[in-house]
Amino acid sequence: MGSYLNISKYIEQSYLKPDGTFKKIEELCNEAVKYNFYGICINPFFVKFAKDLLKDTDIKVITVVGFPLGANKLKTKLIEASSAVNDGADELDIVWNLGAFKSGNFSYVEEELKTIIYYTQNVTHKIIVETHYLNEEEKIKGVEIVKNSGAEFIKTSTGFAPTGANLDDIKLFKKFAEGVLKIKAAGGIKDYNTALKMIKAGADRIGTSSGVKIVNEGV
């Protein structure tokens, strides 16, 4: 753990800023090939373009659904998710409905996720719970909902909240996931030591825009 190749294959190199261009996405794909990243995480508009660029590689194309607030209605999320899969996305990072969750409408949140997953089978699903806005009890409840939804991963953050991944949350998710869920740590991971600590705490993937820096620091 922590070697050049290992740390690379944990990384989902991300570019989710609003000023992305085709040139920037092409650069991101080239970086992913050069550094052997697990995948790239990009906005839905660029999925088809990136998939074509990476068609002769094993690098995964990951995109987001309901990003970054999660407050879209289910029908909108379904169209977005289905369109992304049709464009070639291998994995979907879905922002759950945080407002519904904070309102105590847990059944709606769970059913929304189940529905999206049902209609986008054969891809990997990660549920973004935005830990910054959750207390410990809510985080534990969140793990339960994500487990019940059928998703493969729980993800800490969009990167748009004031804070992102921290070690305590990774450890808590690891404990209550009970081996059913994998964990994607994202939000504020900008150096090798932080990424390595996240992995040692239980993270299975690292979402970051600093993948090149992380890998170079680990050589």
**Residue 141 designated active-site:** no
The active-site residue out of 87, 90, 93, 169 is: 93
DSSP assignments along the chain, one per residue: --SHHHHHHHEEEEE--TT--HHHHHHHHHHHHHHT-SEEEE-GGGHHHHHHHTTTS-PEEEEEESTTT--S-HHHHHHHHHHHHHHT-SEEEEEP-HHHHHTT-HHHHHHHHHHHHHHTTTSEEEEE--GGG--HHHHHHHHHHHHHHT-SEEE---S-SS----HHHHHHHHHHHTTS-EEEEESS--SHHHHHHHHHHT-SEEEES-HHHHHHHH-
**Residue 34 designated active-site:** no
The active-site residue out of 60, 139, 155, 174 is: 155
**Residue 184 designated active-site:** yes
The active-site residue out of 51, 139, 174, 184 is: 184
Residues annotated as part of the active site = 93, 155, 184
